[in-house]
Amino acid sequence: MIKTMNLHSPLASQIKKLIERRQSCGMDYRTQAKLLTYFDRFLVQENIKKAHITRPIIERYQKTLSHLSPRYQANRFGVVRQLCQYLALHDPGIFIPEPMKRDSSGVGRKPYIYSCLEINHLMDAALELPPAGSLRPYTYHILLGLLYSTGIRISEACSLNLESFHTDKQCLYIAQGKFRKARWVPLHDSTRQALEHYIDRRLVKKPNAPDDPLFLHRRGRRLCYHTVYCTFRRMLEQCGISGSNHANPRIHDLRHTYAVHRLLAWYQDGQDLNTRLAILATYMGHVDIRSTQVYLQPTVELLEHVSNRFHDHYLHTVDSKGGTP
């Protein structure tokens, strides 16, 4: 990846060295490397001639990020701050900016939680995708079903190979999830059967070696996020799913929907949530429960079950003490 990076600023060689150093420590750093190319491009546009970062340069770069959401501003600025810290090891005169303050108001983008009916409409719309008789409709049908029934990330789904599905174990093997973590994802029997039927169709198409992509683009290459994103947007329009100003539906929201629906099912079954949440965090590939909590958005149906459980617990507690509710 580093050899193909197109860097032209006076800091090009130092940027490459930083990326090599991070990757030699076992870090993926591909996303950060891409963000550093934006900074390199900025330095070229600003006609910076010296390999030295000053406060005015950082302040001008920060202004160019104003059109981005606070989260993306913090991500881009944070990577540049890492670069400054690395450069300062050899040049004490390098300006190291303070971390960009994140919005602490707690107000952010609200995930869109799809209803079961909307999921069914999207699955049906996938089977109507052109061209008729091609693998494409089945690809999107099983892809959406897999995202909803397992909660895996779209990047993880696109990275799956034919050998990633272990029918004997009834599991998917995610070889490299977020933070390069590998994990096994158990499948429901209905999901396993659907995936087996899809693979029967998929193996007719080439390339079809075990290490070839599970999901193919129409041109025979691995399905990528941008292609899925554009197709999914058209499917949302076809199904009349538009959301609101506060929650515009995305394909990543299928992961949020999975988590919420899973939690709802546990409430309905009377499960011990303290135990189940730890299992859910592992299943979704999270480091701890705190990461999973981001996905547990309250819905009307979920809040109703929470309220009912609390009410039942309260009555039981009062009755056991001989009191009157």
Residues written for the chain: 325
CA 231/CA 218 separation, integer angstroms: 12
CB distance 84 to 96 below 8 Å: yes
Q: Which two tokens stand for residue 26?
A: 């076992």
Nearest to 284 by CA among 306, 257, 302, 266: 257
- The catalytic residue positions are 153, 178, 252, 255, 286, 295
Distance CA 299, CA 218 (A): 38
Residue pair 157/146 in contact (Cβ under 8 Å)? The answer is yes
- Asked if 73 contacts 37 with a C-beta cutoff of 8 angstroms, the reply is no
Q: Residue 319 class from Cβ within 10 Å (0-12 exposed, 13-18 middle, 19+ buried)?
A: exposed
Q: What is the dihedral of CA 11, 12, 15, 21, to 10 degrees?
A: -120
With a CB cutoff of 8 Å and minimum separation 6, the contacts of 248 are 112, 242
Residue 44 one-letter amino acid: V
Asked if 148 and 134 touch (Cβ cutoff 8 Å), the reply is no
User: Which residues lie closer than 8 Å to 28 by C-beta, 6 or more apart?
Assistant: 179, 180
User: Are the beta carbons of 148 and 140 closer than 8 angstroms?
Assistant: no
Give the whole-angstrom CA distance, residue 285 versus residue 308.
30
CA distance 185 to 192: 11
Residue 70, C-beta contacts closer than 8 angstroms, at least 6 positions apart: 102, 103
